[in-house]
């Protein structure tokens, strides 16, 4: 069907230098073309290097044009979004000689609001909390004069939240057609382009935010491609949940009025209402006491705690909150300015959401949800967050995605466990779908070595840290750094980091938490003897091709923490269904993350290196063979001497 595009003498070979024909890419494109035509679903694991983005874009471009349809391409990482928008789609638009449009969709808070910007500019001193914020606002003004999109990610610096939230678009504050800047509106222009486009590129977060908002955030669409689909369950669990925090309530109240600085909404609209100021003070006091009571219930050492009983605490926030809402409603009646009215309405709506969220969590009113508290110690306070998350998103996704939209394509390099899609399909509610597994075109037998050291202790034993440090030092010395060391906990990371950096101080050690993730990767690439120490963030979505990365060390099989409230609730749910949670949930979940970690090593056809797994359970436990069978087929060794022989030969 698409041979003339993907084969050795096709359109891609004519337009791309060093084009390599990959039969897997053509197979995937043809299968998707068939699925799209029949309005069915497909789940496809396409190994690294398959060229899967081109394989799904081409069939969908033709489908949207011929059938007058619109498709959403949903990704997990910004890097893939940028590849699609800046490389793949512009190339195909030029090459295919068909008239189609594509657009990037971002949440509206990513856009500068011109009206709010000039509103803040009229009273800079009353809007911003510090001179640093004012200076940053002035830098934003320079960017505003030259930007064509108004998108936050195109600013040459990362604006502070306390500044950006004062000038970004917020849906509740939008005046729509009544706005004097309606014709210049960055978000409005973006929506016009989206409505005219056949291909919409979004991320998973926006997809589920749109679902939670009743499909109001995106134009209507007819088909979906979920790329990097292995992350869907976790994103859906977050976005289909409810949470409320002490810092969130404090920020909301400060946006209305701060007595100490006399800043906030009341100051900006020129109203000093003593009744409202008193209600804000009462609500702040009640909020502080409420979260102090939670802290008292859980104790100083608590970090995450599951809530198993309803009405676990008295809601002392409710009465002062409703009093403030009533006072704001009364104030609104005396205001004539439309923008000020909308801003008061927005704050009323936010306060009511706080009330609804607290009622929901305290009363545990949502069935099949897990309720829990998260406490994080900050420099000047303890942040407390109350959460409610769905235990199983499968039925929700089945009803709102797979039974309502067709075609739906799910793809990733890591969707199977032991060559089966059963795990991911059961987690997502995908009952009926065609399946396709495509191996990577890379030669892992030649390019990669899997090192499973002999005689390693179980990672739960005391002597594991000492043995792991020894193996890490051997490997880093052999590869001259050029390594990712992946962990499942900060505790183990910090222990091993302290030991290894003392014995090998000359390497460029980059530890997660010391730098933002993007900066850490940039530093790693810039220095040829770098060692990156990371947890979950660095197991996936990081692309370091070439000689900069020649070793990936997985310290421990990435089983989820069993007492994590969501994991614990899912395990209980499966037991209630007479399903073995370890075999059917915990092991497959860990296998997919292990495959992601392994996948950091070989990104291109000329990449080479070693993956070391320092967890003896992969060879001593019965389930270990499932991990090995799920990884790309590569030579396996157990001694450092064999690793030396491999590395000397590359």
The predicted pLDDT at position 487 comes to 97
The predicted pLDDT at position 20 comes to 84
Check if the beta carbon of residue 443 is closer than 8 Å to that of residue 48.
Answer: no
Q: How far apart are CA 14 and CA 639, in angstroms?
A: 47
Q: 296 is written with which tokens?
A: 């008292």
Q: How far apart are CA 107 and CA 175, in angstroms?
A: 17
Q: Are residues 419 and 514 in the same domain?
A: no
The predicted pLDDT at position 452 comes to 98
Q: Are residues 124 and 90 in the same domain?
A: no
For residue 606, what is the DSSP state? T
Q: Are residues 475 and 522 in the same domain?
A: yes
Query: What's the pTM value of the predicted model, to 2 decimals?
Result: 0.92
Q: 238 is written with which tokens?
A: 């977050």
The predicted pLDDT at position 256 comes to 92
Q: Are residues 375 and 398 in the same domain?
A: no
CATH number at residue 594: 3.40.50.300
Burial of 179 (0-12, 13-18, 19+ CB in 10 A): middle
Q: Are residues 505 and 405 in the same domain?
A: no
Q: What are the 10-residue block averages of pLDDT along the chain, 650 residues in total? A: 86 83 95 97 96 96 96 92 93 91 96 95 86 94 96 91 94 91 96 97 96 94 97 95 96 90 81 88 97 86 87 96 96 87 94 97 96 89 94 96 97 95 97 96 95 95 96 97 96 97 96 89 91 93 88 97 95 96 97 96 93 98 96 96 92
CATH number at residue 368: 1.10.275
The count of domains in the chain is 4
In 10 A of CB 488, how many CB atoms?
A: 22
Looking at the DSSP assignment, which residues form a beta bridge with residue 263?
A: 258
Q: Are residues 93 and 158 in the same domain?
A: no
Check if the beta carbon of residue 324 is closer than 8 Å to that of residue 281.
Answer: no
Residue where a domain stops, chosen among 357, 373, 388: 388
Residue where a domain stops, chosen among 369, 388, 407: 388
How many residues can be counted in the chain? 650
Determine which helix (DSSP H) or strand (DSSP E) holds 144, and give its type and residue range. Answer: helix 131-144
Helix (H, G, I), strand (E, B) or coil at 595: helix
Q: Are residues 267 and 381 in the same domain?
A: yes
Q: How far apart are CA 423 and CA 412, in angstroms?
A: 14
Handedness of CA 536, 539, 541, 544 (dihedral sign): positive
The predicted pLDDT at position 516 comes to 84
> Smallest Cα–Cα separation from 73: which of 228, 202, 234?
202
Q: Are residues 568 and 638 in the same domain?
A: yes
The predicted pLDDT at position 225 comes to 98
- Quote the domain boundaries for residue 409: 3-101+197-236+393-438
Strands of 91-166, DSSP E: 102-104
Backbone angles phi, psi at 519, to 5 degrees: -65, -40
Q: Are residues 270 and 400 in the same domain?
A: no
Q: Are residues 433 and 457 in the same domain?
A: no
Q: Are residues 555 and 630 in the same domain?
A: yes
The predicted pLDDT at position 128 comes to 87
Q: Are residues 466 and 505 in the same domain?
A: yes
Backbone angles phi, psi at 388, to 5 degrees: -140, 120
Residue where a domain stops, chosen among 346, 371, 388: 388
């Amino acid at each position: 069907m698409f041979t003339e595009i993907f084969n050795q003498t096709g359109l891609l070979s004519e337009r791309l230098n060093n084009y390599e024909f990959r039969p897997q890419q053509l197979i995937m494109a043809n299968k998707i073309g068939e699925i799209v035509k029949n309005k069915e679903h497909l789940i496809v694991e396409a190994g690294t290097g398959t060229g899967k983005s081109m394989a799904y874009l081409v069939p969908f471009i033709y489908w949207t044009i011929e059938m007058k349809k619109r498709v959403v391409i949903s990704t997990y990482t910004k890097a893939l979004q940028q590849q699609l928008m800046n490389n793949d789609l512009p190339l195909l638009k030029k090459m295919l000689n068909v008239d189609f449009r594509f657009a990037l969709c971002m949440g509206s808070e990513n856009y500068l609001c011109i009206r709010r910007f000039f509103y803040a500019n009229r009273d800079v001193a009353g809007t911003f909390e510090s001179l640093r914020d004012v200076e940053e606002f002035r830098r934003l003004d320079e960017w505003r004069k030259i930007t064509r999109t108004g998108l936050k990610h195109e600013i040459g610096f990362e604006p502070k939240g306390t500044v950006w939230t004062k000038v970004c678009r917020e849906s509740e504050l939008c005046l729509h057609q009544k706005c004097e800047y309606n014709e210049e509106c960055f978000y409005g222009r973006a929506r016009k382009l989206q409505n005219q486009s056949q291909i919409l590129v979004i991320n998973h977060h926006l997809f589920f935010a749109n679902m939670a908002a009743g499909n109001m955030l995106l134009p209507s669409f007819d088909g979906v491609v979920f790329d990097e689909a292995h992350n869907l369950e976790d994103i859906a669990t977050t976005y289909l949940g409810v949470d409320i925090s002490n810092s969130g309530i404090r920020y909301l109240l400060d946006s209305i009025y701060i007595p100490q600085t006399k800043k906030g909404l009341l100051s900006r609209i020129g109203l000093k209402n003593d009744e409202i100021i008193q209600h804000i003070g009462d609500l702040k006091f009640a909020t502080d006491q409420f979260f102090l009571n939670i802290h008292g219930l859980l104790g100083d050492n608590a970090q995450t705690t599951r809530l198993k009983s309803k009405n676990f605490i008295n809601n002392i926030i409710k009465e002062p909150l409703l009093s403030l809402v009533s006072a704001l409603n009364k104030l609104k009646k005396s205001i004539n300015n439309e923008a000020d009215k909308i801003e008061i309405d927005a704050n009323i709506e936010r306060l009511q959401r706080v009330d609804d969220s607290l009622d929901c969590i305290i009363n545990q009113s949502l069935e099949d949800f897990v309720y829990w508290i998260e406490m994080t110690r900050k420099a000047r306070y303890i942040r407390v967050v109350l959460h409610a998350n769905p235990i199983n998103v499968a039925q929700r996704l089945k009803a709102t995605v797979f039974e309502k939209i067709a075609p739906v394509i799910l793809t990733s390099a890591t969707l199977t466990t032991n060559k089966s899609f059963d795990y991911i399909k059961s987690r997502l509610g995908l009952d009926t779908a065609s399946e396709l597994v495509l191996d990577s075109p890379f030669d892992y037998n030649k390019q990669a070595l899997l090192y499973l050291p002999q005689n390693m202790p179980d990672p739960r034993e005391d002597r594991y840290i000492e043995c792991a440090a020894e193996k890490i030092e051997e490997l880093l010395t052999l590869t001259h750094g050029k390594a990712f060391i992946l962990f499942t906990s900060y505790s183990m990371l910090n222990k091993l980091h302290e030991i290894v950096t003392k014995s090998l101080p000359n390497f460029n050690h980059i530890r997660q938490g010391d730098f933002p993730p993007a900066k850490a990767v940039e530093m790693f690439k810039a220095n040829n003897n770098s060692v990156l120490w990371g947890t979950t963030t660095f197991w996936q979505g990081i692309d370091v091709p070439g000689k900069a990365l020649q070793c990936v060390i997985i310290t421990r099989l990435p089983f989820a923490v069993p007492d994590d409230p969501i994991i614990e609730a899912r395990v209980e749910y499966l037991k209630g269904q007479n399903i073995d949670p370890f075999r059917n949930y915990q092991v497959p979940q860990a296998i997919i993350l292990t495959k992601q970690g392994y996948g950091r090593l070989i990104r291109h056809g000329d990449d080479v290196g070693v993956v070391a797994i320092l967890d003896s359970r992969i060879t001593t436990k019965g389930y270990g063979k499932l991990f090995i069978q799920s990884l790309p087929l590569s030579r396996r060794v157990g001694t450092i001497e064999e690793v030396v022989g491999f590395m000397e030969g590359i």
